[in-house]
Structure 1
Amino acid sequence: MKRIIVSVTNDLVTDQRVHKSCTTLFNNGFDILLIGRKLKNSKQLTRSYKTKRIKLYFNKGFLFYAEYNIRLFLKLLFTKKDILLANDLDTLLPNYLISKLFSKNLVYDSHELFTEVPELINRPFKQNIWKFFESSILPRLNNQYTVCDSIATYYNTKYKTNFYTIRNFPLRDSKQDSTNFPFEINSCKIILYQGALNLGRGIELIIKTMLFLNNTILVIIGNGDIEKELIQKVINLNLENKVKFINKLNPAELKKITPLADLGISFEEDLGLNYRYALPNKLFDYIQAKVPVLVSDLPEMKNIVSKYKVGEVITDRTPKELASQINKILENGKDYYNTNLEIASKELIWEKESKKLIEIFKNLN
C-alpha cells in the first residue's frame, strides 16, 4: 500500500477539499497521512486516515511560514513516504526538496492563484518572494491540478505546465437535513453568505444593500480578518435586526443551515486575478442545498450560473440597484429555480469530479 503524505498550512478541521481528497484516496487503497498545524482552539479530529498537526511558536507572518516549512521539511524527511501531495504554494518548497532528495513523486494542488491574493497585491516585496518560489518550482512539476479552468490556463500559459482541473464540488447530499436559526426570522426571506470574512468578498456591499430591502434578513456565517469591522458597520447603519452573524461552523453543521436560505450570495470583487478567477466552495454548497444564487460578474462563477440556470449574475453593484435585483429573485421564489437546481445538484458533485483525482494518482509521471 503506497503512503501519500498530504501537506496543508491550516489546522485540518474545515478544509473540505483536502478532507474529500484524502478520503477518496484512502478509499482507493492509499495509506494517507495528512499534516497540518495545531492552533489553540483546534478541535479534535476523527478521520478514517491518519493525521498529524504541528504546534508552532509563530502563527502569522514571515516567521510562521519559515517555521512551518522547516518543521514540515523535517517531518517529511524522517517519515515513510511514497508520494507527496502539496496543497498550495506555502507548502510546496519542502515537498519539492524532499521529492528530489528521495526521488519520490510530487503532486501539487493549487487551491488558488496564491501570488495574486489581495493580501499580496499591495505588498510587492512579499509577493515577489512567493513569485520566485512559484516560477522556480512550477515549471519542474509533472503532476498538478487546480480548482478551475481559468487558473489552469493561467499556469499552463505562463509556465508551460500541464495543470488539470478538479473543481471543489461537495459530496452528494440526499438527506437535506435542516435545523433552526438561533434567532427569530418570522416570515422574513433569508439571504445567506457563508465563508471567510475577508476583504474583497463583497460583504460590505450586501450589508449596505440591506438598507433597501424589507422583510429580509442577511445571515453571515464565518470568521475572518474584517469580522469586527463588519459588525461595527452593521451597528453604525442600525441594521442589527436585519443582519445576523453566526460563527464559523463545521461542514456538517453548515449543511443543516444552508437549505434554510432563500438566496445564497457570492459577491467577490475583481481585486486581481485570484478573485477574478474565483470559483468559491459556497457556490456549490448553495446549489447542493437547492438554494438559488446571485454571483459577481466574474468568468468562472458566471459560467456556472449561466450554464445551469441556477440563479442570476449581478448587473449593477450599487446598493439600491442590487436590492432591486435581489427583490426580483426573492419574489420569484426558490421554486422558480428548483428544476435547474435539482439537475445541477446531481451533476456538480465530488463523487463524479473525484474520478479525475484517482486518474492522476494512478498515472503519475
Structure 2
Amino acid sequence: MRLENLRQLPSVDGRAPRVALLVYNDFSVDTRVLKTAYSYAAAGAAVRVVAFGTFEGKEPGLTVLDGGIEVERLPLVELDHTLPRLGSTARQVVARARGALRRGSRRSVTAGPTAPTTSDARTEATAQTRSPQDGDLGPSAGSTTHSTPRSTPAVPAGLKARVVGLWMRMHYTVRLGSFQLRAVRSLRGWRPDLVHANDADTLLPAWLAGRSLGTPYIFDAHEIWTARVKAGSRPVARRWEAWVEKRLAPRASGVTTVSGSIVDWLHRELRLAAAPTLVRNVPVGPAPVVSDPAATGRLRELAGLGADTRVVAYCGAVTINRGIEQTLDALELLDPSTHLVLLGRGSQAYRAVLDARVAAAGLDDRVHFVGIVPSDEVPATLRDADASVIFSRPVTLNQRFSLPNKLFESIHAGLPVAASDLPDIASVVSATGAGQVFDIDDAQTTADAIAAVIADAGTYRAASAAAARTLTWQNEVDGLLRLAVAALEGPGRS
C-alpha cells in the first residue's frame, strides 16, 4: 500500500515515534486498521499492531508486513474449546471409576461363597448396560453384555440451552479479558509514544497502559459500541461497556469515527469536550476511473455474463439486514435483461435461504454469487457494472447511521449508485450527484431508482468520477494525523 505526501509526525527524543494500534480481531481482513497502520508508517512512525491469534486463524506471535509494520498477535483463553474437552475427560473418569467398581465386585464374588446383594447386582447390571448416550463411555471394548440400555431422564432442553448460554457468555468474557491483560503487558514492554484504540473493547488496555507509561491514546470508534448487534439481552455486559466508553472515551487525546451522525451521537452521549473527527472509511486513491480510465472491470467475467445484459452490482457481506431480499423484490420488477451480481461472501445457512428465495421467484438465471476479491481490487472489479445498489436496513442505530465502504468503492469504480434513503448515505449521494436514493420499504421505488440511474448512466458516471478524485483515504486520514501530532506534542511530550 503506497501512501505519499501525508502529514508527518514529530520525532520523540530524536527518533521516530512509536505508535501502537490495538484491535480485537486477528487483523486479517480489517481494512480500516490496515490503512491506519500504513498511514502512521507513511507519516514517519514505527508501527506495531497488537491483535490476537486464534486456533483456526492467524497464529500468535510477531510478524512483519511489507513496509516494516509489525503485527503482534496475542494468544487467547478459549473456553469454548475447553468445554468439549472437560466433557470428554469427565466421561472417561466416570467410565474408569465404574470399571474399577465392576472389577472389585467380580473379585469379591470369586473370593467367597457369599452372593452379591440385590442392590449390588442392580448397580453392576446398570453400569454394564448403560449406553454412551447416558453420559459415560458405556461397556468396555470386548464386553459380551448385550442387554437393552435402561431409559434415563433426559436433561430438559431449556436447562441445557441456559447452561450452554451461560458458558458461552463466560467464554466471551474470559476471552476478551485475556486479550486486554496481555495487550497491556505488550504495550508496557514495547513502550509506545501513542496508542490508537480501535473500538471500545480496546479502550481499557489503552487507558491502563497509558496510565502507567504516561502515553496518550486516540479512540477510533468504528461504530456505536452499545448499539451493535449481539445475541441475548446481555444486561450486565451492556452496562459495563457503556460505563467504560463513557468514562474512558473523554480521556482520549482525540476521538475519530466513521459517519457524521455518529460524530453527533458520540459528542452528545459521551459528553466529549470536542466533536469527534470524521474519518470516513474510503478507499486509498487514486480511483481506477481517475488512474486508468481505460480499465474495463471484471464483474461480468466472474458472473459469466456478456455485454448484452444489464448488471446491478451488490458489494459486501452476504448477510441479513443488507437489503438483499428487498433487492431481489426490486429485481423482479426490472427488465428481464437486468441481472444482480453479488461480490462478497456469507454463511452457508444464509446462502441457502437466499437460494430458496431466488428459486421461488424464478430468478435463478438472473442472480449470480461470485465470491470475493482482495479488498483493494474491489473498485476495479466493479468497474464494468451498469449500477451499484447500496441497501442498508436501519435495524439498529449503527445501521441507520452507516456509511458503508461499498458506497465509496462504487464511486471509485465510477458507477451510478442507487442507495437507501438513510441520512449519511443520502448525504454523500446528494453531495456527489453520483446517483439516486430510494425508500427501503418500497420495492417499486427501489426498482425505479435502479432503472433511472442506468438510463442516465453517463451523467452519474461522470459525477462518480469527479467525486472519486477527492474522496480518498489520503484526504480523510489527515484529520487523524492532526490529532496524532497534537497528542505527541502535548504537555510533557518531547
Q: Same fold (TM over 0.5)?
A: yes
Offset from partner CA, 1:285-340 (integer Å, 9 cap, x none):
1111101111111111111111111001113532244223322222222x121221
Q: Using a 3 Å threshold, how does the CA distance of structure 1 residues 227 and 87 change in structure 2: closer, same or farther?
A: farther
Q: Using a 3 Å threshold, how does the CA distance of structure 1 residues 156 and 339 change in structure 2: closer, same or farther?
A: same
- Displacement of 1:157 after TM fit? 1.4
Aligned residue in 2 for 1:179: 298
Q: Using a 3 Å threshold, how does the CA distance of structure 1 residues 137 and 299 change in structure 2: closer, same or farther?
A: same
Secondary structure at the counterpart of residue 230 of structure 2: helix
- Displacement of 1:184 after TM fit? 1.8
- Displacement of 1:31 after TM fit? 0.4
Q: Does 1:279 align with 2:390?
A: no
Q: Using a 3 Å threshold, how does the CA distance of structure 1 residues 238 and 64 change in structure 2: closer, same or farther?
A: farther
What aligned pairs does 1:4-153 form with structure 2 within 5 A after superposition? 4-39=19-54, 40-42=56-58, 46-48=65-67, 49-56=69-76, 58=78, 61-119=172-230, 123-153=234-264
Offset from partner CA, 1:96-155 (integer Å, 9 cap, x none):
111112111111111111211233696545433322221221232231111122111111
Q: Does 1:200 align with 2:321?
A: yes
Deviates more, 1:39-48 or 1:104-113: 39-48
Q: Does 1:352 align with 2:475?
A: yes
Offset from partner CA, 1:260-296 (integer Å, 9 cap, x none):
2211122111222211111111111111110111111
Contact 2:416 2:460 in 1 (8 A): yes
Q: Using a 3 Å threshold, how does the CA distance of structure 1 residues 124 and 219 change in structure 2: closer, same or farther?
A: farther
What aligned pairs does 1:283-322 form with structure 2 within 5 A after superposition? 283-315=407-439, 317-322=441-446
- Displacement of 1:45 after TM fit? 7.8
Aligned residues: 364
Aligned residue in 2 for 1:269: 393
Aligned residue in 1 for 2:137: none
Q: 1:259 aligns with which of 383, 388, 397?
A: 383
Q: Using a 3 Å threshold, how does the CA distance of structure 1 residues 103 and 316 change in structure 2: closer, same or farther?
A: closer
Q: Using a 3 Å threshold, how does the CA distance of structure 1 residues 243 and 45 change in structure 2: closer, same or farther?
A: farther
Deviates more, 1:81-90 or 1:114-123: 114-123
TM-score in terms of structure 1 length: 0.90
Aligned residue in 2 for 1:169: 282
**Aligned equivalents of 1:71, 1:238: Cα separation in 2:** 53
CA RMSD of aligned residues (A): 2.5
TM-score in terms of structure 2 length: 0.68
Structure 2: which 5+ runs fail to align?
Answer: 1-15, 81-170
Q: Which has the larger radius of gyration?
A: 2
**Aligned equivalents of 2:437, 2:284: Cα separation in 1:** 25
**Aligned equivalents of 1:128, 1:331: Cα separation in 2:** 50
- Displacement of 1:22 after TM fit? 1.3
Deviates more, 1:36-45 or 1:237-246: 36-45
Structure 1: which 5+ runs fail to align?
Answer: none
**Aligned equivalents of 1:67, 1:236: Cα separation in 2:** 47
Aligned residue in 2 for 1:189: 310
Secondary structure at the counterpart of residue 205 of structure 1: helix
Contact 1:197 1:222 in 2 (8 A): yes
Structure (1 or 2) with the greater strand fraction: 1
